[in-house]
Amino acid sequence: MSKNVIFCFSGTGNCLDIAKNIAKALGDTDIVMMRRAPAVRDVHEAERVGFVFPCYAGGLPGDVEKFARSLFVSPKSYTFGVVSYAGYPGVGLSKLNEIIPLNYHAGISHQSACIWLMPHTMMFPVLTPEKAQKRSEELAAKIAEDVKRGVVSDKKPSAPLFNKIEASVWPKLAPKKAAAFAVSGKCIGCGQCAALCPKGNIKMVAGRPDFGTDCVQCLSCLQFCPKEAIHMGGVTVKRERWHNPNVTALELNEKIIHID
Ligand SMILES: Cc1cc2nc3c(=O)[nH]c(=O)nc-3n(C[C@H](O)[C@H](O)[C@H](O)COP(=O)(O)O)c2cc1C
């Protein structure tokens, strides 16, 4: 087992990029992906255990809450949580803190992955992708320094009521939104979308993706599609795609990424 373990959920790569940057600064780190059930659950020997995930509808993404409950983290380990978001951090850190008490927590705002709701540049404050990426790298470096020094946050993560309500309705809304997935004639049948889907919700039928509704809305299928052939309602047809420039679809699908 590596000295440090970071559990990471990422749909469009911002969180994996943040996790990699923190891991590079810490050294000897296993990034364990949490898009699907984590390949490692017993991390009680790790000196530091971190979590990096995005805010989805004010709460935790995918099955992160369920997976967090299944982990064995020693109370002796230093624990930290980092949330990436476009406009507000939501209640994800607070929820996680109830499951695994966090010594330290922080947030990083980045480009919005929620293409059906708004253009990716509509983060608050609005920043170009280049500037947002630079800021994300600077903040990840600062977080890594804090983690190395064992800084302890003086306040618990916040839990605004509006975000709690949003997060509680999201598990019902996400599958409904998925009913709008469609594929255009640009599709080359590469099957990357099906391979990426953390829920196995996309099946290749006659060389084309067929979408079910068991969807967590990570939008990796749509945002990483090499031909931009996947849509979700009319608004996404013309809207520019976003995925983090430092993360590939292949990497997103790894179970564990080790960084020395
Ligand atoms: C389905 C979905 C819901 C989201 N909900 C929120 C939200 O409630 N608040 C917010 O500030 N950002 C929200 N975002 C934006 C993401 O938190 C942000 O883009 C994050 O950096 C994505 O991380 P990733 O690239 O690792 O997936 C949402 C994104 C998606 C795809």
Query: What is the pLDDT, as a whole number, of residue 187?
Result: 98
Domain contains 166:
no
pTM, entire model: 0.98
Here the CATH number for the domain that contains residue 146 is 3.40.50.360
Number of H-type helices and E-type strands within the chain:
9, 10
Q: What's the CA-to-centroid distance between 136 and ligand 1, angstroms?
A: 14
Q: Is 114 in the pocket of ligand 1 (CB under 6 A)?
A: yes
Give the lowest-confidence range in 171-175, 187-191, 196-200, 245-249.
Answer: 171-175
Q: Is 57 in the pocket of ligand 1 (CB under 6 A)?
A: yes
In a shared domain, residues 32 and 115: yes
Instruction: Give the residue numbers spanning the domain of 210.
Output: 173-238
Instruction: Give the SS3 label for residue 30.
Output: strand
CA distance 30 to 9: 14
61: nearest Cα among 109, 32, 95, 23:
95
**Cβ atoms of residues 16 and 244 within 8 Å:** yes
Query: What is the pLDDT, as a whole number, of residue 145?
Result: 98
**101: its two tokens:** 């008490």
136: nearest Cα among 240, 54, 61:
54
Query: What is the pLDDT, as a whole number, of residue 15?
Result: 98
In a shared domain, residues 254 and 203: no
Which atom of ligand 1 is nearest to 17's Cα?
A: 26
Q: Is 87 in the pocket of ligand 1 (CB under 6 A)?
A: yes
In a shared domain, residues 157 and 111: yes
Q: Is 62 in the pocket of ligand 1 (CB under 6 A)?
A: no
CA distance 78 to 104: 8
Q: What's the CA-to-centroid distance between 219 and ligand 1, angstroms?
A: 10
In a shared domain, residues 102 and 215: no
pLDDT at 255 over 90: yes
In a shared domain, residues 105 and 179: no
pLDDT at 156 over 90: yes
